[in-house]
A and B are shown apart, each in its own frame.
Chain A
Amino acid sequence: MAEFILEMKNITKEFPGVKALDNVNLQVKPGEIHALVGENGAGKSTLMNVLSGTYPFGTYSGDIVYNGEVCQFKTLHDSEEKGIVIIHQELALIPELSIGENMFLGNERKGRFGIDWDKTYYEAGEHMKQVGLKEEATTLIKDIGTGKQQLVEIAKALSKNVKLLILDEPTSSLNEEDSKMLLDLLLGFKKDGMTSIIISHKLNEISYVADKITVLRDGSTIETIDNEGHNIDEARIIRGMVGRELSDRYPSREHNVSDKIGMEVKNWSVHHPIYNEKKVVDNVSFNVHRGEIVGFSGLQGAGRTELAMSIFGRSYGTNISGDLKIDGNEKNLRNVRDAIEAGLAYVTEDRKGNGLILEQSIARNITLSRLEKVCKKGIVDVNKENAVADDYKEKLRTKTPSVQQAVGNLSGGNQQKVLLSKWMFADPEVLILDEPTRGIDVGAKYEIYCIMNDLVAQGKSVIMISSEMPELLGMCDRIYVMNEGKMVAEMPASEATQEKIMSAILQSDKK
């Protein structure tokens, strides 16, 4: 047997305009639990998608050596045949089907006439025992909790004769108890000789289960740390994760924070729109002054987007409570229209899904949220509209031949500029930018930072939600840290470091 069950050599994967993986190497020994850590966007999930064949052979360069042979996976099916199974962060179960049906979906137990249901449910039951899931195999997925669903996914993997199990953030939606159970299960499998790769942000869990830790940063392997003793210092991992230096990637700005508070939120709580009992935002208070950029840091799922959207005219969640003041006046924003009229703007993180109408022109997209500004008695003055759009095109240096161009034809950075134009046109006093630089190149990022600086120079308030800590440190006056729906820290940017933010998140996880 080879020394390594899996070797990924010099994997490079490019997306249009972005190098997601740059010569990444990963070596996994048989029977070990190998952790992959890194910031959001470091390339962890991309690497695992390359391994599982989600990105087929040929779309990346480099070699995958599995059990001593070079593999060229073209589909997910190819890798599963070899015993490599990936469980994604968003579970791929069908809520309306039973546990057994889900487990053998696409891999049905066939009898002489169609599906052999007795065999299906018997085998499902066996695999469920292996993972310690005490449910009937006929129970519908929608009737069991997320923790148990995670177990079904693992049982499903077992049914496929898994040799190498990949788990992408398996515990992100689990509570303490379920997480512990899951991790112990992995340790149990390890004894039986199964190899696992686990992607996680929760360093305490990694320290608990992992034998080796590979750190990825900006699409490159930084180091592989030994964790035989399971007692690694978390700060040691963090240093590897965030260890880059800040250079002048951020335009300088005079910090002229006014005493006036632009927006103040007190004791804000939001419940999940479907699972009503779940609190997504829990008693959060914060404020932003005029002329100030305030950053919101936290991991994905910390509740930042939900907080922003619930403030923005109750666009998310149910049972929203709390006080909201804009320029010192109590506001009750019942819908988006109210929010816009109160001087609030929310620039979504999902510009294609929630922000822009891709097949419509730049001009039409820009004016949509405040169409009345280019209207006379309900009739759109197209000439005025185009003039406005041209104006923003110049101001934000959007690269396009004409404002009649469909937004879908623009690059990500230029689409982001159109989205910003749209909300600048709405003329807000408080701008909430949700991941404003996600998926765009460095040059466009810089320009967007400049626009933000212009806005605060005009005395507006800017809230920036970002998963990129360097960006928050480089741009903000003050940083709030959220985790699991709660506000866990607040610090002036001058005193903040990536380590401080990370440890604030991790500290709160332990509680």
Chain B
Amino acid sequence: MNAKTFIKKYTMVIALVVVFIFFSLWTEGRLLYPQNLSNLLIQNAYVLVLACGMLMCILTGGNIDLSVGSTVCLIGAIAAQMLTKHGMNPIVVILLCLVFACIIGMWQGFWIGYIHIPPFICTLAGMFLFRGFGRAILDSKTIAIPQTEGSVGKRFLDIFASYIEIPGVDTQKVKWSAFILGMIIAAVLLAVTVLNRVKKAKKGYKQASAISQFARIIVIDALVLAYTWKLAHYKGIPVMAIWVLAVVFIYAFITSKTAFGRYFYAVGGNEKATKLSGINTNKVYFLAYTSMSLLAGLSGLLVAARVGSVNGDTGNSFEMDAIGSCFIGGASAYGGSGTVGGVVVGAILLGVINQGMSIKGLDNNWQYVVKGAVLLIAVIFDVVSNKKTGKAG
């Protein structure tokens, strides 16, 4: 791989590294404090979760879902009311909320997939509808989830917003469990790479070059270890990280490994050809929007737990963060290409910019300006490079 293709392939990763170094220097290293690194993940958990779902929608042809912010609010509101007013079991609350979210997604997926309502319009309607329902359920108030020890509210918060602590391993100062988990992840990643190569060699399939593959895995492992080392010196592994990792892993698996995931790329690449290949394209749209709302529901629970309360403005403009992450992460604005890995990089890039500017004390307004500029540059890059390969235009 020469320098040019390397830069083209890893543009956003390089951008992330540059931005990260820039903010680390600018904040005089404060960005690297364990607490800030831990918050980076927790504060952006909702973006990561939403962006995975948004990617599926965007893959089908650059379609977006504008209603996710409102769905976050609605599901958050339902959860908060169930916990406070009815004192329901948190597990039941979570399951019910996810079922509701799924129904919302099926509602939108039905109109978009089977009746062919343009997604932009259908989800714009959803944006108003679900925000309205959410506010009605909240009765225009802010509802705080009770935090007293032993209450259902506290148990709910523990499921999403606590930290893992293993007695005996973790000390007051260092949560060794975090670093141990990091080492396990690093070892597993390395093992998977090696086993894959062995398997390929045995069957005589073509291999990617060993140097690039191992260089990549070593870099990733180093990052995992460094990050968990930092986490160990704060409060340990946040439970939220487990949720996010699970979602990211599942979506990465679906998009890259399964036949089902292939169909999303195929529809975005050429819907007519996909249909004539015997694939039910209506169902692909339906499932894209169903999964989007399901994740929006999960995100609503995460946000409710992190903030500890829900109000009528919860989830405002979350859809924009999710959409932005996808496009910054290299998803094509025309559909058909984009990876979960890219989207994660995009979301983290946005997160680092936010975090860095917050630490520096810049006000919110400028954060919008910078986010907007980054998004525009990323999409211009995508369109221009696509033009060269003759897709856009």
Report which A residues bind B (CB closer than 8 A): 312-313, 315, 335-337, 339-340, 346, 348, 353-360, 364, 368-369, 371-372, 375, 378-380, 383, 386-387, 406, 408, 422
Contacts and interface: CB of A to CB of B under 8 A. Distances in A.
B274 A378 contact: no
A379 B258 contact: yes
A379 B277 contact: no
A357 B274 contact: yes
B205 A386 contact: yes
In order of increasing CB-CB distance, the 8 nearest A-B pairs are: A357-B269, A369-B277, A336-B278, A337-B278, A371-B259, A357-B270, A340-B278, A368-B277
B279 interface: yes
Contacts of A359: 269, 336-337, 389, 391
A387 B347 CA distance: 36
Interface in B335-364: 336-337
Given A336-B276, A357-B274, A408-B389, A379 B269 contact: no
B49 to A, nearest CB: 23
Given A360-B269, A372-B259, A380-B258, A355 B276 contact: yes
Given A357-B336, A359-B336, A360-B266, A375 B274 contact: no
Given A335-B280, A359-B337, 15 more contacts: A336-B275, A336-B277, A336-B278, A346-B276, A355-B276, A356-B270, A357-B273, A358-B269, A359-B269, A360-B265, A371-B259, A375-B259, A380-B257, A383-B203, A387-B205
B262 interface: yes
A482 B269 CA distance: 34
Contacts of B280: 335, 337
Contact of B262 (A313, A337, A368): A368
Nearest to B334: A359
A387 to B, nearest CB: 7
B260 interface: yes
B206 interface: yes
11 contacts: A353-B272, A354-B276, A356-B270, A359-B337, A368-B262, A368-B266, A368-B273, A369-B277, A380-B259, A383-B200, A387-B205
Contact of B270 (A340, A358, A387, A422): A358
Contacts of B278: 313, 335-337, 339-340, 369
> Which of A353, A354, A355: most chain B Cβ within 10 A?
A354
B258 A368 contact: no
A355 B257 CA distance: 23
A356 B275 contact: no
Contacts of B279: 336-337, 368
> Which of B200, B277, B280: most chain A Cβ within 10 A?
B277
A355 B273 contact: yes
A339 B272 CA distance: 16
B393 interface: no
A337 to B, nearest CB: 4
A369 B274 CA distance: 8
B262 A371 contact: yes
A372 B277 CA distance: 12
* Interface residue range, chain B: 20 to 34
A193 B206 CA distance: 72
A94 B142 CA distance: 53
A383 B260 CA distance: 17
Interface string B254-290: 0001111010011001101111111110000000000
A379 B200 CA distance: 17
Given A357-B336, A358-B269, A386-B205, A348 B389 contact: no
Interface in B57-76: none
Contacts of A313: 278
Contacts of B272: 353-354
B390 interface: yes
Contacts of A354: 270, 272-273, 276
A349 B297 CA distance: 45
B258 A360 contact: no
B195 to A, nearest CB: 13
Given A360-B269, A379-B257, A386-B206, A368 B200 contact: no
Contacts of A336: 275-279
Contacts of A422: 277
Contact of A315 (B205, B259, B265, B276): B276
A335 B279 CA distance: 9
A211 to B, nearest CB: 43
Interface in B184-201: 200
B287 to A, nearest CB: 13
A368 B270 CA distance: 12
A337 B275 CA distance: 9
B257 to A, nearest CB: 5
Given A336-B277, A357-B336, A359-B269, A379 B259 contact: yes
Contacts of B277: 336, 368-369, 422
Contacts of B265: 357, 360, 364
A497 B390 CA distance: 43
A387 B265 CA distance: 21
Contacts of B200: 383
Nearest to B200: A383
Contacts of B262: 364, 368, 371, 380
> Which of B203, B205, B269, B278: most chain A Cβ within 10 A?
B278
A359 B391 CA distance: 8
Contacts of A372: 259
A315 B272 CA distance: 10
> Which of A313, A335, A379: most chain B Cβ within 10 A?
A379
Contact of A360 (B257, B275, B336): B336
A376 to B, nearest CB: 10
Interface in B144-163: none
A312 B270 CA distance: 18
Nearest to B337: A359
B260 A378 contact: yes
B175 to A, nearest CB: 36
Nearest to B253: A379
> Which of B262, B270, B273: most chain A Cβ within 10 A?
B273
A350 to B, nearest CB: 8
A383 B205 contact: yes
A422 B259 CA distance: 16
Nearest to B205: A383
Nearest to A368: B277
